[in-house]
Amino acid sequence: TSEDCMRVKAQKLQEDVQMLFQTFTSVVQKMNLIDTLQRLGIDHLFEDQINTAMNEIHEKEFNSCSLYDVALRFRLLRESGLRVSPDVFSKFKGKDGSLSRDIISEPRGLLSLYNAAYLSIPGESELDEAVIFAGHHLESMRSSLNYPFSEQVKRNLEIPLPRTLKRLDAPYYIAEYQQEKAYNTTILELAKLDFNLLQRLHQEEIKAFCQWGNDLYEEVRLTYSRHRIVECYFWSYTEYHERHYGDARIILAKLLVLVTLLDDTFDMHATLEEGWKLNEAIQRWDESAITLLPEYLKGYFVRLMNTFREFEDELKPDHKYRVAYSRKAFQNLCKHYQQESEWFHSSHIPSFEDHVGHLRWYSDTICRFTYGYG
C-alpha cells in the first residue's frame, strides 16, 4: 500500500539523519541539529541519539561569543533537565549589569534569548528582565524582518517556544525550514513523511474515539453535560502525539471525558445532597455504592468503574499499578469538585489563598493523569 511505501521510505531517511549525529562533531552543529529535529516534530525518532548528544553538550566547555548559540545551548539544556546557570549571559551585559544594547543588532540572537529566558526558575530575575528586553526590541523590529524569520518572531512573541504545543507548531516550521540557509533536504523530507504518517494514525484514532464517546454519552444519558469528545482527544494528542504513545493517548482522552462529565454534574445539575452522595460513592470505589446514587447518575458510575477496569486489562502487568494512581487522582478531584459545590451553595466566596491552593491542586491532578501513562 502507499502507506507501507511511505513507512519504508521514512525508515531509510531516518537512518540517513541518524548518521548526522556522527558526522556533526562540533557542539554548535549538534545543537542546531537537535533544535531543528525538535521544531520539525521528529525528535521522537532520535531520542537515544539526542540524549547522548545533550550529555556531551552539557559536559563540554563552551566559550562562544554568539548570543544565538549561548541562548540555544541554555534552552536545550534546561529543556533536557540539565543544570545550566544564567551566568552564561553575563558576557552580554554592560558595566551596570543590564543587557548591552549591542545585542539589539542581532535579531536571531534576541529571539533565541527571548525563548531561553522563559525557562527561568524562581529567583532568576535577570532572565525575567531578559524576556522584557528581548521582547520589546523584537516587537519594535518586526516590520523590518524578512520571511520566514518574521513569522517565527510573530508566533514566539504570542507564545514563546518552550510553551508552544510542538505538534501544532511543526507544520509552520516544516513550511519555513526550506528557507533556512543550512536546511537539509533529507531532514525536511523525513519531517513531511512522519507528519503525514502520524496524521493518518490520529485520524483513525479520533474516528474510533468519537464512536466510543458517542456510545458513552448515549449510555450515561447526562444530557446537561458538554459534548467535548473531540476536545478531549485534542488535549491528549497535544501531550502524546508520538506513535508509541497510542495507548497513553487514548487512556488520557477517556479520562478527560469522564472528568468533563463529573465536572458538569457538580457545576450544572446535581443538588448539594446529590453531590455528597456521588462523592461518597466515588471515594468508596465499589459497585455496591451505586445504591447511594440517584437514578440518573447510576449509569455514569457503572461506566466509570468499567472504564477503569478496562484500563487495567489493557496495560501490561508491570504497568497496571498506574491505574491505582489515576483512580486516587480521580477521587481527589471529586473531593475538590464537591468543595466547590459547597462554596457555591453556601454563597461562600473563597479567599485568594483558597483559590490558588485549589487551582494548584487541580493542575497537579491533571499532571498525574497526563504523565501517568507516558
Q: What is the pLDDT of residues 196-224, one digit of tens each?
A: 999 999 999 999 999 999 999 999 999 99
Q: What pLDDT, on a 0 to 100 scale, did the predictor assign at position 372?
A: 60
Q: What is the mean pLDDT of each run of 10 residues along the chain (374 residues)?
A: 92 97 96 97 97 97 96 98 96 91 94 98 95 97 94 97 93 94 94 97 97 97 95 92 91 94 94 96 96 97 97 89 89 91 89 77 67 60
Q: What pLDDT, on a 0 to 100 scale, did the predictor assign at position 62?
A: 95
Q: What pLDDT, on a 0 to 100 scale, did the predictor assign at position 28?
A: 97
Pick the CATH number of 3-191 from 1.50.10.130, 3.20.20.60, 1.10.3810.10, 2.40.50.140: 1.50.10.130
By the 8 A CB rule, do 89 and 113 touch? yes
Residue 98: closest CA among 131, 130, 69: 130
Residue limits of CATH 1.10.600.10 in the chain:
221-371
Residue 265 is classified by DSSP as: I
Q: What pLDDT, on a 0 to 100 scale, did the predictor assign at position 352?
A: 85
Compute how many other C-beta atoms are within 10 angstroms of the C-beta atom of residue 150.
15
Residue limits of CATH 1.50.10.130 in the chain:
3-191
Residue 285 is classified by DSSP as: T
Q: What pLDDT, on a 0 to 100 scale, did the predictor assign at position 325?
A: 87
| CA dist 40 → 176, 178, 246, 372 (Å) | 10, 11, 20, 26
Tell me the CA end-to-end span of the chain in Å, nearest whole number.
31
Q: Name 327's Cβ contacts closer than 8 Å, sequence gap at least 6.
A: 285, 308
Q: What pLDDT, on a 0 to 100 scale, did the predictor assign at position 95?
A: 86
Give the predicted TM-score (pTM) of the model: 0.90
- What does pLDDT average to over the chain? 93
Q: Name 298's Cβ contacts closer than 8 Å, sequence gap at least 6.
A: 290
Q: Which fold has domain 221-371?
A: Farnesyl Diphosphate Synthase (1.10.600)
Q: What is the CA radius of gyration of the chain?
A: 25
